[in-house]
Amino acid sequence: MESTGADVPKKTDEDLFAALGGTVLDLRMADSKLLDAARTKLEMLSLTGDEMICLLVRRVTNHPFAVHKAQDASVWRKRITNQQDVIATQKSLKSPLCETATLEEMIITWMHLSDLLGKINRHLSDLSLVNCDGGASPPRFVIHCDTSDQM
């Protein structure tokens, strides 16, 4: 037996709008949760990068003696008389130089990460405007590294 169109209950416009409204509300709630999760991850990335850079800055600034040694090459040239002196001098400078190179890489990485965070922040702001839920604007990520206690 075939069912005819008369057997199927017809939905009114109000029923369709109510169902559509419920679906839109569910999507907005899911969107809000995703935005909150993305903001949390961005904040963690920002804090982690900031802490790593500050740690490296502190480690490098804690080696003023090595910087002074590097600037005093003429004294070394007179003092170094054999291969063992060269090896000892090289070892004493290797750590601060490696840390300085790592710091340079970290700063460049942080700059790229900062640009990426800015772009993502703008996208999150745009999504928040589209979402129309009146939620708070995305957080501003401010990187601050205090090395004043090292000087």
- DSSP tag of 132: T
Residue 123 has what pLDDT? 75
Mean pLDDT over 106-112 rounds to 73
Residue 149 has what pLDDT? 52
4-57 pLDDT, tens digit per residue, is 555 556 678 788 877 888 888 888 888 778 777 777 777 777 666 667 667 666
| Sign of the alpha-carbon dihedral angle for 141, 115, 109, 62 | negative
User: Which residue, among 42, 43, 39, has the nearest Cα to 31 in the 3D structure?
Assistant: 39
Q: How many residues does the chain have?
A: 151
Q: Where are the chain's structural domains?
A: 41-63+93-145
Residue 35 has what pLDDT? 77
Contacts of 53 (CB under 8 A, 6+ apart): 103, 106, 107, 110, 143, 145
Residue 151 has what pLDDT? 43
Residue 56 has what pLDDT? 65
Residue 69 has what pLDDT? 55
| Sign of the alpha-carbon dihedral angle for 32, 37, 43, 45 | negative
128-148 pLDDT, tens digit per residue, is 665 555 555 545 555 555 555
3-state secondary structure of 52: helix
Residue 63's pLDDT band (boundaries 50, 70, 90)?
Answer: low
